[in-house]
């Protein structure tokens, strides 16, 4: 830290993204929940065309993209804000809907960026322990005062809440915001976007990084009623009105014209997830019931770090989290292509043979 760094950021501990190996050894990357498939050919073609217009600023209103999204998601274009990844919408939400008297409230095991967003925005936060079975303690969340942040499905557990539970949280206190982070919703959970018209206190975020294979393009959406969207837009336009570049806007619109491609890929991932889960269970692993594009697994005879390191030695990257204590024996494993899953399963067989 330089002597010029503002005191307000003293102790700020940034989010640590999953390893992105560059050059050197080739890894099978199952650590950041990316899609194993390329973006839709329609997205790619639209992006290539947009490159020629990069001499101009991108459309700060993302109007074409929002119109396409309006058709696909069944909400008005004014119910959508576009961002540089859903992380950006989430960050705006911490900024817009939390303050000293309105803490951020989220589960103790959830997306690791939430405490960082809270700290960066200098708002207090409270972590509510997941239940023993790793499900969100909806009753305890509902009893809290503050803005609720719920990843649905949750990460890194993959466990999903029903729409009924989301509705219960929304109705538990209509005077507070509920932010539902649906980064992984397309792999088998129920989306709350359809509830936006009914609940003024709902903000739903989604990303193009997972089901739409566009992690590197950085595109995310927020869905909410007009006035809530206007709050986010106020912040967005006070920071960077050009937050979504024109290639990404074009690619996003192209991807939304190819929902069949997205659906098909999600079905492959869901099938691979179910097969991978069955394999891991046969080998004695404990698993959560994941509705995401990853599984969360622990083996009673191998520590979480040990398993992570042994996979790494064999050229496979998965994600291990050092906190909280109750998940240190687990690893989060992205569900990839069938070929990647085969390599992973072979490596696991080798590790188990060595250890047991
Ligand atoms: N929410 C959750 C639960 C995530 O795991 C991620 C991806 N790391 C995000 C949001 C953010 O995704 P992106 O910024 O790529 O849209």
Residues 158/295, Cβ–Cβ less than 8 Å: yes
Q: Which of 110, 160, 183 should be mutated for ligand 1, with most atoms under 8 A from CB?
A: 183
User: Residue 85: CB within 6 Å of ligand 1?
Assistant: yes
Q: Going by CA atoms, what residue is nearest to atom 6 of ligand 1?
A: 183
User: Residue 155: CB within 6 Å of ligand 1?
Assistant: yes
What's the confidence (pLDDT) of residue 246?
A: 98
What's the confidence (pLDDT) of residue 73?
A: 98
What's the confidence (pLDDT) of residue 351?
A: 97
- DSSP state at residue 217: G
pLDDT in tens, the chain (356 residues): 999 999 999 889 999 888 888 888 899 999 999 999 999 999 999 999 999 999 999 999 999 999 999 999 999 999 999 999 999 999 999 999 999 999 999 999 999 999 999 999 999 999 999 999 999 999 999 999 999 999 999 999 999 999 999 999 999 999 999 999 999 999 999 999 999 999 999 999 999 999 999 999 999 999 999 999 999 999 999 999 999 999 999 999 999 999 999 999 999 999 999 999 999 999 999 999 999 999 999 999 999 999 999 999 999 999 999 989 999 999 999 999 999 999 999 999 999 999 88
Q: Which of 15, 86, 92 should be mutated for ligand 1, with most atoms under 8 A from CB?
A: 86
Q: What is the phi-psi region of residue 254: left when phi exceeds 0, alpha when psi lies from -120 to 50, beta otherwise?
A: alpha
Residue 27: CB atoms within 10 A of its CB come to 16
Residue 228: CB atoms within 10 A of its CB come to 23
**Which is it for strands 202-207 and 286-287: parallel, antiparallel or unpaired?**
unpaired
pTM: 0.97
What's the confidence (pLDDT) of residue 201?
A: 98
Q: Which of 88, 91, 111 should be mutated for ligand 1, with most atoms under 8 A from CB?
A: 111
User: Residue 151: CB within 6 Å of ligand 1?
Assistant: yes
User: Residue 293: CB within 6 Å of ligand 1?
Assistant: no
Q: Going by CA atoms, what residue is nearest to atom 11 of ligand 1?
A: 87
Q: Which domains does the chain have, with CATH numbers?
A: 7-37+260-355 (3.90.1150.10), 41-258 (3.40.640.10)
What's the confidence (pLDDT) of residue 71?
A: 98
At residue 149, the 3 state secondary structure works out as strand
Closest alpha carbon to 108 in 343, 327, 260: 327
What's the confidence (pLDDT) of residue 327?
A: 97
Ligand 1 centroid to Cα of residue 193, in Å, is 17
Ligand 1 centroid to Cα of residue 3, in Å, is 33
Q: Where do we find the tokens 């000293």?
A: 100
Could you tell me the CA-to-CA distances from 235 to 61, 93, 249, 305 in Å, in that order? 14, 9, 20, 40
Q: Where do we find the tokens 């004014």?
A: 78
What's the confidence (pLDDT) of residue 142?
A: 98
Ligand 1 centroid to Cα of residue 4, in Å, is 31
User: Residue 58: CB within 6 Å of ligand 1?
Assistant: no
Residue 256: which H helix or E strand, with range? helix 246-256
User: Residue 207: CB within 6 Å of ligand 1?
Assistant: yes
Q: Going by CA atoms, what residue is nearest to atom 7 of ligand 1?
A: 183
Ligand 1 centroid to Cα of residue 185, in Å, is 11
Ligand 1 centroid to Cα of residue 87, in Å, is 6
Task: Find the distance separating the first CA and the last CA of the chain, reported in whole Å.
Answer: 46
User: Of all atoms in ligand 1, which is nearest to the CA of residue 87?
Assistant: 14
Ligand 1 centroid to Cα of residue 208, in Å, is 9
294, β-bridge pairs: 334
Residues 335/272, Cβ–Cβ less than 8 Å: yes
Ligand 1 centroid to Cα of residue 353, in Å, is 35
CA dist., res. 288 & res. 349, Å (int): 21
What's the confidence (pLDDT) of residue 119?
A: 96
């Amino acid at each position: 830290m330089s002597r010029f760094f503002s005191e307000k950021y003293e102790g700020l501990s940034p989010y640590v993204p999953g390893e992105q190996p560059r050059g050197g050894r080739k890894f099978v990357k199952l650590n950041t929940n990316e899609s194993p498939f390329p973006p839709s050919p329609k997205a790619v073609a639209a992006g290539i065309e947009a490159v020629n217009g990069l001499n101009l600023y991108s459309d700060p209103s993302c109007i074409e993209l929002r119109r396409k999204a309006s058709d696909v998601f069944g909400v008005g274009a004014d119910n959508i804000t576009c961002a540089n990844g859903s992380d950006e919408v989430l960050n705006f939400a911490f900024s817009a809907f939390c303050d000293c008297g309105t803490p951020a409230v989220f589960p103790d095991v959830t997306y690791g960026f939430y405490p960082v967003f809270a700290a960066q925005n200098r708002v207090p936060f409270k972590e509510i322990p997941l239940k023993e079975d790793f499900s969100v303690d909806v009753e305890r969340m509902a009893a809290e005062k503050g803005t609720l942040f719920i990843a649905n499905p949750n990460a890194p557990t993959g466990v999903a809440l029903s729409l009924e539970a989301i509705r219960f949280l929304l109705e538990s206190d209509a005077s507070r915001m509920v932010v539902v982070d649906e980064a992984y919703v397309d792999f088998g959970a129920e989306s709350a976007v359809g509830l936006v018209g009914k609940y003024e206190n709902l903000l739903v975020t989604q990303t193009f990084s997972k089901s739409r294979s566009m992690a590197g393009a950085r595109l995310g959406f927020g869905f909410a009623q007009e006035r809530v969207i206007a709050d986010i837009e106020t912040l967005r336009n006070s920071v960077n009105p050009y937050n979504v570049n024109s290639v990404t806007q074009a690619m996003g619109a192209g991807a939304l014209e190819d929902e069949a491609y997205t659906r098909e890929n999600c079905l492959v991932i869901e099938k691979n997830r179910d097969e991978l889960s069955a394999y891991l269970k046969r080998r004695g692993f404990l698993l959560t019931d994941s509705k995401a594009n990853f599984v969360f697994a622990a083996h009673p005879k191998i520590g979480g770090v040990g398993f992570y390191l042994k996979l790494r030695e064999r050229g496979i990257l998965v994600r291990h989290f050092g906190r909280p204590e109750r998940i240190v024996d687990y690893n989060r494993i992205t569900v990839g292509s069938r070929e990647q899953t085969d390599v992973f399963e072979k490596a696991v067989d080798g590790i188990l043979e060595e250890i047991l």
